[in-house]
Amino acid sequence: MDVLEKVYSAFCAASTREGSLKTRLASFHSELIEIVPPINDAYAALVERFQVSFAEKNIPTVGDEMPGFMLPNDQRGLTTLQDLLEHGPCIISFNRGNWCFHCMLELHALAAIAKEANDLGARLVSIVPERQPFTRKIKLIGNLPFPVLSDIDNGVAASMDLLVSARHDLRELFLAAGLDLATYQGNDGWFLPIPATFIVDQDGIIRSKFIDPDFRTRAEPDDVVAALRSIASPPS
C-alpha cells in the first residue's frame, strides 16, 4: 500500500468515527503524521507562517458585503452569488480541494446538515481552486447535495484576502508523495485558500464567519446551523 492509499484509508476511518467534526479531524491528523512523519513539521511551519500574517489580512467580516462572483459549477454551468441568494441566505465554504482530506471531512459534515439548512430556506456551496473535472469528483465522492464551484486561479479567494502560498512549505513533500497541485488547479502557482465558512443573508451581508489560520480546524456543523437559525426563516 503506497502513501496516498494509506492516507485515504485513514480518511475513511476518520469519516465514520462517532463524535464531532473536531474529533474526526483530530483522529485523521494523528493517523496522517504516523503515515507521513515529516508532514507534521511542514504543517506546523505552514500554520505558524499563516498566523504571523493573519492579523494583517483584510478578510471581509461580519457586517461587510460579500464580494460578488460568477464561477463555473460542477454541472458545466456558471453560478453567481446572486443565484445562490435568490431565495434566502447561503452558507459558503472555501475549501482547498479534493486532495485535502481535512476539507473532505468538513464537506461530509456539511452534507449532513444540508437538509436542515434547506429547511431553513438556505443554500450551501463549496468553493475550491480546482478545475471542473475535480469539482465533479468532489461532489461524487463526497455525495454532496450542494454545488461545488471552481475558483480558477483563486480569483475570489484573492479578492477576499484568503490566499496563501504553499510552495516553500509543502511543494517537495507533496510531490514526493505523488500529489501535484498543478494537476488539480491547472497552474503551477501552489497557492491555496485559507479554509473559511461564511453565512451570508439574502441581502448579501455576511452575518457569521468562521476562519482559523490553522487549516486543520474547521467550523462545527452544529455551530453553523445555530448561526443560520439566528437569521433564517423557513420557506413558506
Tell me the pLDDT tens digit for each residue of 133-166.
Answer: 999 999 998 899 999 999 999 999 999 999 988 8
Computed over every residue of the chain, the mean pLDDT equals 91
Query: What pLDDT sits at residue 178?
Result: 83
For residue range 31-49, list pLDDT tens digits in order. 988 888 888 888 888 888 8
Collapse the DSSP code of 2 into the 3-class scheme (helix H, G, I; strand E, B; otherwise coil) and give the result: coil
On the question of pLDDT at 179 being above 90, the answer is no
What one-character DSSP code corresponds to residue 127? E
pLDDT of 187 > 70? The answer is yes
Q: What is the pTM of this model?
A: 0.93
The β-bridge relationship of strands 70-72 and 78-80 is: antiparallel
Q: Is the dihedral of CA 63, 21, 23, 20 positive or negative?
A: positive
Average pLDDT of the segment spanning 165-170: 79
Q: What is the arithmetic mean of pLDDT over 186-213?
A: 95
Q: Which three cell numbers stand for residue 107?
A: 464537506
Residue 234: its pLDDT value, please?
Answer: 57
Question: Three-state DSSP class for 140?
Answer: helix
- Joined grid coordinates for residue 22: 473536531
Sign of CA pseudo-dihedral 67, 58, 122, 96: positive
Tally: H helices and E strands in the chain: 10, 9
pLDDT at 172: 86
Assigned C-alpha cell, 154: 483563486
Domains recognised in the chain with CATH numbers: 3-229 (3.40.30.10)
Q: What is the pLDDT of residue 79?
A: 97
pLDDT at 194 over 90: yes
> Would the pLDDT of 236 be above 60?
no
Residue 232 clears pLDDT 80, i.e. is over it: no
**Tens of pLDDT, residues 74-129:** 988 999 999 999 999 999 999 999 999 999 999 999 999 999 999 999 999 999 99
Q: Determine the angle formed by the axes of helices 101-119 and 221-229, rounding to 10 degrees.
A: 30
pLDDT band at 1 (very low <50, low <70, confident <90, very high): low
Give how far Cα 221 sits from Cα of 14, 110, 168, Å: 16, 6, 32
Q: What is the pLDDT of residue 235?
A: 55
3-state secondary structure 32-87: HHHHCCHHHHHHHHHHHHHHHHHCCCCCCCCCCECCCCEEECCCCCEEEHHHHCCC
Which of 47, 49, 92 is CA-nearest to residue 68?
92
The closest of 211, 216, 218, 220 to 54, measured between CA atoms, is 211
